[in-house]
Amino acid sequence: MLEVTDLVKVYPTGTRALNGVSLTVDEPKVIAIIGPSGAGKSTLIRCINRLVEPTSGKILLDGVDIASLGRRELRKFRRRLGMIFQEYNLVERLTVMENVLSGRLGYVSFWQAYRRRYPPDDIRMAFQLLDRVGLSGYENTRADALSGGQRQRVGIARALMQQPDLLLVDEPTASLDPKTSRQIMRLLVELAHERGTPALVNIHDVGLAQSFTDRVVGLADGRIVFDGPVDRVTAQVLTDIYGEEDWSTTIREVEDEEEEREEAGVSRSKPPAREKKDEVTLGVAEGE
């Protein structure tokens, strides 16, 4: 799927944001990218969709070298990458439905989009996705009338409208309260698993990363200092990534959560479908 080799990014200012990053994603799993501020997490994601031009190195998606694509090829290629952002990047004055449909922009013609004439299949898919993210009934609500959690649900639905091969997610919960953050992470991970779409998720909250993702990549100073399954993230690993700190509470919380889940008979990777959906819908009904 995705193969990043020896990726280097030196900004014009001289900052070496990525210093030889190599990373392989060959399973449809959710990968948390953690690391201190300035470690290069956003730069890595932006190099993959070429919002930032890599200085050197290779980025292959299904064998295609992203770094070598011309402008036209790049436009076409970007359809395959679903982006989800911290600040949602919705068009505020458009409705929820229009925002979600804009995920198809890479597929429909300019004139179709201009006249807002989307194919019926696209509209059907948008309704289904809105239902799945818990926003059924909000189709005609303007984006600027939504809460942060609801906006991020729209952002997730819009990204999935593209039917992407890879999801790139930059701090999806950084503007949300803790409970909404968990709901959004849970939804994101469930959808990625359901659809078999791998996801790279930049995230500051180590607890969230440990609770919901499959694999953790730790960046520090533009280098990968850890790459492994989530249950191997120990206090020592966190010290390697972030520096010296007392990590005991962070680690213990996660272990407690795991126990809680096991007691409830819920496995981390695949919670039962019904329960998930009810929870998501409830979250919205409470008025996030």
Q: Which residues bind ligand ATP (CB under 6 A)?
A: 11, 13, 15, 17, 35, 37-43
Least distance from C-beta 216 to ligand ATP, angstroms? 14
The CA-atom distances, in angstroms, between 225 and each of 39, 99, 135, 189, 221 are: 11, 38, 39, 24, 9
Q: Which does 20 bind (CB under 5 to 8 A by kind): ligand ATP, Mg ion, none?
A: none
Q: Which does 40 bind (CB under 5 to 8 A by kind): Mg ion, ligand ATP, none?
A: ligand ATP
Q: Which does 13 bind (CB under 5 to 8 A by kind): ligand ATP, Mg ion, none?
A: ligand ATP
Q: What is the 3-state secondary structure (H, E, C) of 3-36?
A: EEEEEEEECCCCCEEEEEEEEEECCCCEEEEECC
Cα–Cα distance measured from residue 155 to residue 252, given in angstroms and rounded to the nearest whole number: 32
* 37/249 with CB nearer ligand ATP: 37
Residue 180 interacting with Mg ion (CB under 5 A): no
Stretch that binds Mg ion, among 35-43, 59-67, 97-105, 192-200 (CB under 5 A): 35-43
Nearest to 24 by CA among 46, 48, 8: 48
Residue closest to Mg ion (Cβ) = 42
Tokens 């120990």 sit on residue: 234
Three-state DSSP class for residue 160: helix
Task: For residue 177, give both structure tokens.
Answer: 């309260």
Q: What is the separation, in whole angstroms, between the first and last Cα of the chain?
A: 36
Q: Which of 34, 42, 176, 233 binds Mg ion (CB under 5 A)?
A: 42
Least distance from C-beta 41 to ligand ATP, angstroms? 3
Phi, psi angle pair for 185, to nearest 5°: -65, -40
* 69/174 with CB nearer ligand ATP: 174
Tokens 């680690």 sit on residue: 251
Least distance from C-beta 32 to ligand ATP, angstroms? 13
Rg (CA), the chain: 19
* 41/151 with CB nearer ligand ATP: 41
Q: Which does 37 bind (CB under 5 to 8 A by kind): Mg ion, ligand ATP, none?
A: ligand ATP
Least distance from C-beta 208 to Mg ion, angstroms? 15
Cα–Cα distance measured from residue 54 to residue 113, given in angstroms and rounded to the nearest whole number: 32
CA angle (89, 45, 37) in 5-degree steps: 90
Tokens 């998720």 sit on residue: 201
* 35/103 with CB nearer ligand ATP: 35
Least distance from C-beta 43 to ligand ATP, angstroms? 3
Q: Which does 35 bind (CB under 5 to 8 A by kind): Mg ion, ligand ATP, none?
A: ligand ATP
Least distance from C-beta 214 to ligand ATP, angstroms? 21
Q: Which does 38 bind (CB under 5 to 8 A by kind): Mg ion, ligand ATP, none?
A: ligand ATP
Pairing label, strands 30-34, 56-61: unpaired
Tokens 């949602």 sit on residue: 88
Q: Which does 17 bind (CB under 5 to 8 A by kind): ligand ATP, Mg ion, none?
A: ligand ATP
Catalog residues that contact Mg ion under the rule CB under 5 A. Answer: 41-42
